[in-house]
Structure 1
Amino acid sequence: MTTADYIALAFFIFIWMGYSWLLHGQTFFGRTSLTHAMAERRREWIYNSLRRDLKMIDTQIMAGLQNGTAFFASTSIFAVGSCFALLGATEKVDAVFADLPFVFHSGHAVFEMKVGGLAALFGYAFFKFGWSYRLFNYCTILFGGIPMVHDTEKDVISAERAAERVIRMNVIAGGHFNEGLRAIFLSIGYLGWFINPYVFMGTTAMVIVVLTRRQFFSEARLAIMDANPPPNLHLSAVQRDKPSASDGDELSGGL
């Protein structure tokens, strides 16, 4: 490895840690992150479930969260297996890279080390997704302890405590899921290292810029933030089509 390789690897680790620290701070230039805003929406969802006895809607949402986490966990395992398969074809891949322009040919050992780092990246993502799946499972069990409406009215404090447990577990599970996704996204930037360290730093910076924009400057963030109240609708479509009392009087008078 050259000095540029060490610098690029240090840059990758530093910018990853810095971005994670930025998200834990929840704000950037006075803007709330998308992740933090969604945590508040999770709270609204769980507290809304206290006001209805039909919990099938909530269990379907829980199942959707678990299925999405399981999908990415399976994908990470396949990616790890692909990395090991790539190690078995080092000579062929290295020969291809050796003939490409702008590719720094650094030998078999360095190439295998880069593939091993990529496998470690996907392995980290798998553990995050696996732990998130388990926490979502715990969240489902905790959600089963949320009382019905009539029990909530009898003991509001106990009902709110049960809801807070579900909220906290759901937010933690969502946080691990987001960290696993972040590792998947950064693996795209990591692929630039197979070309040369300068492309590695460029692709990593590009991925971080895209993720920062999505977290703090995207339309998705604006969609879930507290916006202006909706305009007052005078009549819905059903009300417009339904005859009013005055219409009935006019009709009677006409008859």
Structure 2
Amino acid sequence: MEQLTRALGHFTALDLWAVAALIAGWAGVTLLIEHAPARFPSTSNLMAQYRREWMVQFVARDPRIFDSQVIGQLRQGTSFFASATLIAIGGALALLGDVERLIGIADDLTTGNDPVIVWEVKILTVIIFLTNAFLKFVWSNRLFGYCAVVMAAVPNDPADPAALPRAQKAGEINITAARGFNRGLRALYFALAGAAWLLGAWALLLAVALTLGVLLRREFASESRAVLMRADDVRTDM
């Protein structure tokens, strides 16, 4: 406890506020995106509805090769990000073992003479967010695998009473997997923001603000969201 108090003594009040903003921004934007008001849904919420509709259409599709290909692509995406995040964690751990070199580089960019413990805490903050992202990607990959299995259990006959309920189960698992994937991406965003702390508390605050701006724009003010919000116009050629 005494060591923790002594370590915290090396950080300024602005540092603590900046870290609090990083954590609050990460948790707050996740809550807002996943629990957006029904009258103003996020892009993620809109895509969740399309995932449900996908499973409804899947029941009557024959053959179902297209659906298996889509699930395969989703699993490949989660595998790629999990592998890339694991490499990033390894790089951050290697950097943690050679803090003196980082201090030498940082001296050219910042002023001050912070002790080694300060740099170690800053790197550990990034590692924590990267680890969270890795775990989310791994779980998302597994859930997409579960979704594929449930989809395979859907009877080929659309009239089978078990067809639609099983497809709906697959849809909900698909949505849960996508939610985990999106959480992993957000953790990566905030890991990058956390890296700005190496340049100081003001840099961290600016990075958090920019990250929040990017995420909110993409979820609530992007062109893709506007497209998803358009009503489906059914045209009939006479």
Unaligned runs of 5+ in 1: 235-255
What is the aligned-residue RMSD (CA, Å)? 1.6
Q: C-alpha displacement at 1:154, in angstroms?
A: 4.2
User: Which one of the candidate residues 139, 142, 147 is aligned to 2:147?
Assistant: 139
Residues 145-196 of structure 1 deviation map (CA, whole Å, 9 limit, x = unaligned) = 1111xx32243xx222111110110000000000000001112211211111
| Counterpart-to-counterpart distance in 1, 2:120 and 2:234 | 57
Residues 105-142 of structure 1 deviation map (CA, whole Å, 9 limit, x = unaligned) = 42211101111111111111000000001111111100
Match of 1:198 in 2: 202
TM-score (norm 2): 0.91
**CA shift in 2, pair 1:134/1:104, >3 Å:** farther
Contact 2:89 2:130 in 1 (8 A): yes
User: Which one of the candidate residues 161, 165, 172 is aligned to 1:168?
Assistant: 172
Q: C-alpha displacement at 1:104, in angstroms?
A: 4.7
How many residue pairs are counted as aligned between the two chains? 228
User: Which one of the candidate residues 14, 18, 22 is aligned to 2:32?
Assistant: 22
Larger mean CA deviation between 19-28 and 118-127 belongs to 19-28
Match of 2:221 in 1: 217
| Aligned: 1:97 with 2:97 | no
| Counterpart-to-counterpart distance in 1, 2:112 and 2:204 | 12
Larger mean CA deviation between 56-65 and 45-54 belongs to 45-54
Q: Which has the higher contact order (CA 8 A, sep 6+)?
A: 2
Unaligned runs of 5+ in 2: 1-10
User: Which one of the candidate residues 78, 81, 86 is aligned to 2:90?
Assistant: 81
TM-score (norm 1): 0.85
Match of 1:4 in 2: 14
| Aligned: 1:152 with 2:158 | yes
Question: Whose Rg is larger?
Answer: 1
Q: Aligned to 2:16, what secondary structure does the other structure show?
A: helix
| Counterpart-to-counterpart distance in 2, 1:8 and 1:70 | 32
| Counterpart-to-counterpart distance in 1, 2:236 and 2:112 | 63
Query: How many percent of aligned residue pairs carry the same amino acid?
Result: 32
Q: Aligned to 1:74, what secondary structure does the other structure show?
A: helix
**CA shift in 2, pair 1:104/1:218, >3 Å:** farther
**CA shift in 2, pair 1:154/1:179, >3 Å:** closer
Q: C-alpha displacement at 1:43, in angstroms?
A: 1.1
Q: C-alpha displacement at 1:231, in angstroms?
A: 5.3
| Counterpart-to-counterpart distance in 2, 1:192 and 1:52 | 49
Residues 193-224 of structure 1 deviation map (CA, whole Å, 9 limit, x = unaligned) = 11110110111111111100100110011222
Match of 1:129 in 2: 137
**CA shift in 2, pair 1:134/1:89, >3 Å:** same
Amino acid at match of 2:123: V
Contact 2:127 2:191 in 1 (8 A): no
